[in-house]
């Protein structure tokens, strides 16, 4: 598989401005970031950022090295080559008059999506899955009429027992 897109996982110390620092770095260096999510981890004080970068327009190695230069960045891993689970969460509000409802519900069922709100002419559907799965689902329901759509961006975790949070410092990309 040609990994055009790269999924990076970064562990950050929860210090003021750390997210801003990272984002500002991407802007300044002209890195093309497709999605970015941040949230808590199992360790208090440490956040985890998942980044998807377009490896064609952005040198992934430079992104990693530049991220390491931020004092509060503890570890950065490119998990694209490892077997991993990548998930994106979608909420979509679709035009759904009673006549269309059952068809929509069937589609949702096939994708394992949940109906989380129904009003007379609209329905809100929640789906989590790989970004590609979500894309396919959106394509299928588009003809019904999408009123509002939101996605969280990707989070990723490698399969197996090992974790990215292992030893924080990666030999190759130590900060300077």
Interacting residues toward another protein by CB under 8 A: 13, 16-17, 20-21, 24-25, 28, 61-62, 65-66, 68-75, 168-169, 172-176
The residue (of 16 and 83) whose beta carbon lies closer to another protein is 16
The CB-of-36 to another protein minimum distance in angstroms stands at 17
145 alpha-carbon distance from chain centroid? 25
Rounded Cα distance, 53 and 8, in Å: 8
- For 21-24, the CB contacts below 8 A with 24+ separation are 21/70, 21/72, 22/49, 22/67, 22/70, 22/73
CB of 96 to another protein, least distance (A): 43
Taking the complex as a whole, how short is the minimal distance between the CB of residue 17 and another protein, in angstroms? 7
Burial call 32-55: b when 16+ CB within 10 Å, e when fewer? ebebbbbeeeeeeebbbbbbbbeb
CB of 61 to another protein, least distance (A): 7
Rounded to an integer, what distance in angstroms lies between the CA atom of residue 107 and that of residue 110?
A: 5
């Amino acid at each position: 598989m040609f990994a055009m897109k790269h999924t990076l996982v970064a562990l950050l110390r929860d210090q003021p401005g750390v997210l801003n620092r990272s984002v500002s770095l991407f802007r300044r260096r002209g890195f093309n970031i497709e999605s970015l999510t941040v949230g808590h981890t199992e360790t208090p004080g440490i956040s985890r950022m998942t980044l998807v970068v377009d490896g064609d327009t952005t040198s992934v190695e430079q992104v990693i090295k530049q991220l390491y230069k931020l004092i509060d960045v503890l570890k950065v891993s490119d998990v694209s080559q490892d077997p991993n689970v990548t998930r994106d969460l979608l909420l979509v509000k679709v035009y759904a008059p009673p006549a269309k409802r059952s068809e929509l519900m069937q589609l949702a069922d096939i994708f394992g999506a949940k109906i989380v709100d129904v009003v007379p002419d609209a329905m809100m559907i929640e789906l989590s899955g790989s970004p590609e799965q979500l894309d396919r689902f959106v394509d299928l329901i588009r003809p019904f009429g999408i009123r509002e759509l939101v996605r969280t961006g990707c989070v990723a975790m490698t399969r197996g027992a090992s974790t990215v949070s292992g030893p924080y410092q990666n030999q190759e990309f130590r900060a300077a």
